[in-house]
Amino acid sequence: MTDDMQALRALCLEAGAVLLGYFHGGVAVESKADDSPVTEADRRAEAIILAGLAKAFPGVPVVAEEEVSAGRLPETVGERFFLVDPLDGTREFISGRGDFTVNIALVEKGVPVMGAVYAPHRGSLYLGRLGEGAVEETVAADSGGAGEVVPLCVRAEPKVPPVAVASRSHRDAETDALLTAMGVSDTVSVGSSLKFCLVARGEADLYPRFGRTMEWDTAAGHGVLLAAGGSVCRLDGAPFLYGKRNQPHDSDFANPGFLAAGTADLVRAAAAKVGEASATG
């Protein structure tokens, strides 16, 4: 594993240990301006990641969820920057469910070229680098040693009909309509960015998302999926890119809807079905 991937791994484990401490010990919940929940666990984990990235990758801008919420953004983002969500799945975390993750991604020219997704409660760490592949490591947050590592690879031939990942918290009529159009009868549900990881593991074929997400929600999982051989596009089939808002002090990093799949053919087929529905709707 390269030094830069080792750095992301170490930061995920350190931040994950902090999250687990609050998860087992309880934490007060606050509401941000958009009514989304935030906790001290989010802030402490993010502080660890920001300090670690500044040391390991000096000069590379970082766009992090809680920093953006507080109105703090890099003066410029440019073509190479990090996206950080220290606690993706805050609602799962607060509710005592273990599907929360630490997300760190390095973006270059709009593409997540490195992704790290860590689910500390599960002890599952997903790492991917575009062109070099992806792995899953089973490792506890308080472990300094290496855990069992297995390579990740998407299912090269999707099941017929495909198996879809459907959001537990954000299922909507548009998603149901697409799954019906694709003939999907088998779905799996999981929280946070783990949805991308299920496709990267070859346990599912398709993950559609019509509702609102932010760039830091998706970039790390997207990066892992790309490294594992998968594909992601916008609902209209256009490339799904990051850094859409790269002007100083612009805090709108909202994503459009997207389709993630194990193969480019499946993602194109899903985009075609979305287009047909739009044309007849």
Binding-site residues: 65, 85, 87-90, 217
How many CA atoms are closer than 13 Å to the CA of 80, on its beta-carbon side?
A: 5
Q: Which residues of 97-125 are buried (b: 16+ CB within 10 A; e: fewer)?
A: bbbbbbbbbbbeeebbbbbbbbbbbebbb
The binding site for substrate consists of 65, 87-90, 217
Helix axis angle, 3-25 relative to 40-56, nearest 10°?
A: 160
The binding site for Mg(2+) consists of 65, 85, 87-88, 217
Strand intervals (E) in 32-147 = 37-39, 62-64, 80-88, 101-108, 111-119, 124-129, 133-138
Amino acid at 231: S
Any idea what DSSP says for residue 122?
T
